[in-house]
Amino acid sequence: MTQAGEVDMTGRGMYVFALQGMQPHHAAARWNFVNFQSPTYSAVMMEFTTPPSYGSTVVNVGGIVTDNKIIMAGCTCTAKHVETTGDTKTDWPEPKVTKYEWKGKTPDGSDASAELGGELGTRLDRIDVMAEVPAFVKQIVANVAGTKPYIYQYSPKMKLKITLGGEEKEEEGTLFTEATFIT
């Protein structure tokens, strides 16, 4: 039992310090966030696509750890929405099936790769980032800045397939993923 105001933080956690000090519609047009946790592995990935003013460039960083050791980390990861459906409320392509891939080298130089993918299942939430803004202001921002930010969140069970030095392993865990569309 904990005292009032205390929270038991036993277990794994993840903290992302992703403040970029700029307006969101200048930072990215869309992004994908992946946090996978299984009994043995933690896999994270952040991928964003810059707006046309920055060349619509895809930038990705990710990593996988086990037992407090980095297996691989770097920028040779990919996040794909394999199947989508048109969201009639937002006009964004809501992801239904995804595929995430990590490729790299272990600290000792061995090849390493991992894959995670499948059906996302029932959406946890669709967040209207500008929900508290009056409708007329929201419309002005959408027309002037071209922004209509929505975040889609999911948390299905999935299996991570990881290959280290030619040896393949597979382990089930829980995925928390967000697909965000801004412009």
* Percentage above 90 pLDDT, the chain: 61
Strands (E), 87-156: 93-105, 111-119, 125-128, 150-154
**Per-residue pLDDT averaged across 142-168, rounded?**
86
Higher pLDDT: 134 or 174? It is 174
- CATH code: domain of residue 157: 2.40.370.10
**Would you state the pLDDT for residue 171?**
97
| Average pLDDT along the chain | 87
Per-residue pLDDT tens digits for 86-119: 999 999 999 999 999 999 999 999 999 999 999 9
Q: Residue 10 domain-assigned? A: no
Find the domain containing 125 and state its range. 24-181
Q: What is the pLDDT of residue 115?
A: 98
Give ∠ CA 131-178-142 in degrees, rounded to 5.
35
Q: For residue 130, what are its two tokens?
A: 């500008």
Provide the domain count of the chain: 1
Q: Please check the confidence at residue 145 and state whether its pLDDT lies above 70.
A: no
Q: Structure pTM?
A: 0.85
User: Is the residue at 16 inside a domain?
Assistant: no
pLDDT tens digits, one per residue of 30-80:
999 999 999 999 999 999 998 888 899 999 999 999 988 999 999 999 999
In a domain, 119, yes or no: yes
- pLDDT value of position 52: 85
- 1 inside domain: no
Residue among 119, 176, 121, 178 nearest 149 (CA): 178
Measure the CA–CA gap between 8 and 132, rounded to whole angstroms. 32
Residue 169: the pLDDT is 96
Assess if residue 166 is contained within a domain.
Answer: yes
